[in-house]
Structure 1
Amino acid sequence: MLGSCAALVVVSVISYGTHGFETPKQNFTNVVESFGYPTEVHEVETEDGYLLNVFRVPYGQKSEAKQPNEYPVIINHGLMGSAENFIIGGPKKALPYVLADHGYDVWLCNARGTHHSRKHRTLDPDKDMAKFWRFSWHEIGVYDLPAVIDYVLNITQKSKVNFIGHSQGTTTFFVMGAERPEYNDKIGVMVGMAPSAFLGHLKDPSIRFFAPNYRYLQSLAESLQVYELIPKFLLSNEALRSISKILCEEDAPTRNICSNVLLAMAGYTPGQIDPDTITLIVSTGPGGASVYQALHYAQLVTTGRFIKYDWGSKENLKRYNSTKPPEYNFNNIKSPVALMYGESDIVVTKEDVEILATHLPNLVDFYKVPYESWSHMDFVWAKDLDKYVNKRLLRILKKFRE
């Protein structure tokens, strides 16, 4: 989960404007293959017709067999993210490379509405906006994740897959476990980094300011027919591209603006971000999302509960047989779950992770990163990932190998 919509718009203009980033799928492939790792792109169709691009890193750099590794693992990104979030740090730090080198067959999700999965069997995201974008992370958990899991298990001919989520990537997993409990038996272990379910103690001031106004913001967005969190026209404005190019070139004196916007938007520890990775971070840019995803999080912040989307009393009555949205049933989540959080995360706080831990029937690990200023995006961008996250994560996964 990221910060304010205003910051997201700025970063989207910076990232797309600086690099003319029109074909992000090629960016993932080019970056990963430049380090000597193989990649594949798979298209997965959901039950409700969305077409998702899923990226695969089947084996490691030094594999002699040149065959997919034995143990499949799925990685799922956060709000406004995509698979590219996880390749920033390079082979020694970034999770897909590390996992591939340790015997894992790595599959990276791109949720509906991201620039990789902005497709549907019958709906056009630009012409059928009101229908295409009418989803929150609830639908990602109910439809996208089950479709990807079934696809991966079918290709690999395995009975279980391990799962790693960051931020919204954990939210959608908890939705799936609660709403589609049959999928718990298909999970070896789930590792949740900055796990986002209860958000009542969130400290981000911009989110705190906007969250209580979610009903008004939904009405405003719908009246303006703005359904995509960052409208496409903002990404193709040539004047804005030119301005952002001047600001963010590698040798520009104002290049630190890019870094500062990222800090305001996402929350990371400045000392944990290599200056050389800033260009790659902004070039992979925001991944795209529906406004309803952000509004659904606003409801969690406002209520302090892990609830289904609040569509208003009349619509709630039709959907839930209740005027108020019900809570997700954690008792259905039988999968082994390991949680990781950062002390300085102002989005997913220690207090809320502790509440989440008490609701999980099969909690197998509870880990606070032993670095005082570790924050939200450090789980995907930090230079010390290997030391503080990857070693622990690999130990957890090894316990659940089949």
Structure 2
Amino acid sequence: MADQILHARDFGELCALHGYMPEEHVVLTKDGYLLGLHRISSKKGQQNSRPGISTGKPVVYLHHGLLMNSEVWVCLTDAERALPFVLVEQGFDVWLGNNRGNKYSKKSIHHGPNSTKFWDFSIDDFAWHDIPDSIQYILDITKAPKLSYVGFSQGTAQAFAALSIHPQLNEKINVFIALAPALSPAGLSASIVDGLMKSSPTLMFLFFGRKSILSSATMWQSILYPPIFAKVIDVSLIWMFNWHNRNITPSQKIAAYAHLYSFASTKSVVHWFQIMRNGAFLMYDDEVMSPVVRTSVSSYRPARFPTKNIATPIVLLYGDRDSLVDIDAMMSQLPEHTEARRLHSYEHIDILWGKDVDRDVIPEVLDALKRYCEDKDKLSGIVNGVKRTGDGTETDGLSDSF
């Protein structure tokens, strides 16, 4: 299975390997980007005979992290560890989003992908357009009054931002589940890179240009022997973030790392270094592009996302070995109703691909979805935190490691 996943060309082929038949959708954002959406609404071996319409099932929306696309959710070697497949079997209508610029969203009605203007976007644009426009499209198709949002890494930051600046969006999301949440990380483990980029985040433009960042990654992936490519990724993650990914099996790494990278703008990475430098969840600061002289502490303050205004219930699932998560600092920026669940011995990426996510992570997601879902009677499998097995017996649906 690992070799088949490694060579799968797209989201559809990855799903087909596990017996699922997804739908493809396209949403046009208000500023002219065309975003690819994927939908899995039918259980294994089944196909929706009428795609593009409401199924009447509770809706869940999943959004990927930085330099990723929707494939990261379904490139697991076991279906029981792939959150979208588990959710479909539990009775959910599952949708997966994609950021502008990535493999499935590389088109705009205004600019071509070879244009610098096409790549002139940051987290602000994801928050103002990509997230709310994708969610509205899904609600229009499904006729559901609300949906549940599950984000990973930057996919959580985009939701924090979108919910904080769109009060009406809070009325459309019944729960926001943040996996490996990202808000205002302290920085990188690579001290030289961390110090250099914090001192002048716009140096990224000098090194990588103003279009897509690390676009050569796909070339290196194609010419390197898969185990060597996996080793390169491992070494890079240790150096940059001190993530050792010991919870991810070697075969899972070879399979999934092939689907790890997708196109993203250099500007969105610059935005992250601005956030790290200021220690706060800021909107993109255009002022640093020019040599502004600041005469006093109070003369200038970049705009911040008002995250304490979020009304949607929030559940954080974070690894206690994740170098990007300072849970106390994060909780201080979020509303009081925020829940935080610690995942013992987890880092960051292993929350997606770890060998025990079916025991440690997915049950927590299901529990949160069930608590806030408005159509509990339409779900199967997890009922009141109890997993119903095929023979009618019941077991604890949650890991006892929390």
Summarize the alignment of residues 202-351 of structure 1 with structure 2, pairs less than 5 Å apart. 203=189, 205=191, 208-218=194-204, 220=206, 225-231=209-215, 234=216, 245=223, 247-249=224-226, 256-257=231-232, 259-261=234-236, 263-264=238-239, 268-312=243-287, 323-348=300-325
Q: 2:98 matched to which residue of 1?
A: 110
How many Å apart are 1:60 and its aligned residue?
2.1
Query: Residue 193 of structure 1 is aligned with which of 175, 179, 183?
Result: 179
Residues 125-152 of structure 1: per-residue CA shift (max 9 Å, x gap) = 10x21x1111111110110001110011
Q: Which amino acid aligns with 2:70?
A: A
Q: 1:363 matched to which residue of 2?
A: 337
Residues 1:259 and 1:326: Cα distance change in structure 2 (over 3 Å): closer
Residues 72-91 of structure 1: per-residue CA shift (max 9 Å, x gap) = 11111111011111112231
Q: Which amino acid aligns with 1:281?
A: A
Contact 1:248 1:258 in 2 (8 A): no
Summarize the alignment of residues 20-39 of structure 1 with structure 2, pairs less than 5 Å apart. 26-39=9-22
Summarize the alignment of residues 122-161 of structure 1 with structure 2, pairs less than 5 Å apart. 122-126=110-114, 128-129=115-116, 131-161=117-147
Work out the CA distance in 2 between the residues paired with 1:206 and 1:101: 46
Contact 1:197 1:306 in 2 (8 A): yes
Contact 1:201 1:304 in 2 (8 A): no
How many Å apart are 1:303 and its aligned residue?
1.0
Contact 2:122 2:271 in 1 (8 A): yes
How many Å apart are 1:260 and its aligned residue?
3.7
Structure 1 residue runs of 5 or longer lacking an equivalent are 1-18
Contact 1:335 1:362 in 2 (8 A): no
Structure 1 residue 392 corresponds to structure 2 residue 376: no
Residues 192-215 of structure 1: per-residue CA shift (max 9 Å, x gap) = 111111223665546523431334
Work out the CA distance in 1 between the residues paired with 2:254 and 2:23: 24
How many Å apart are 1:29 and its aligned residue?
0.4
Higher helix proportion (structure 1 or 2): 1
Q: 1:85 matched to which residue of 2?
A: 72
Residues 1:344 and 1:249: Cα distance change in structure 2 (over 3 Å): closer
Contact 2:35 2:100 in 1 (8 A): yes
Work out the CA distance in 1 between the residues paired with 2:334 and 2:124: 18
Q: Secondary structure at the match of 1:277?
A: helix
Q: Secondary structure at the match of 1:32?
A: helix
**Higher relative contact order structure (alpha carbons within 8 Å, sequence separation ≥ 6):** 1
Structure 1 residue 48 corresponds to structure 2 residue 31: yes
How many Å apart are 1:278 and its aligned residue?
2.4
Let me know the Cα RMSD of the aligned residues. Answer: 2.9
Work out the CA distance in 1 between the residues paired with 2:234 and 2:206: 31
How many Å apart are 1:292 and its aligned residue?
1.1
Q: Secondary structure at the match of 1:103?
A: coil
Structure 2 residue runs of 5 or longer lacking an equivalent are 1-5, 293-298, 375-402
Q: Which amino acid aligns with 1:43?
A: V
Contact 1:53 1:117 in 2 (8 A): yes
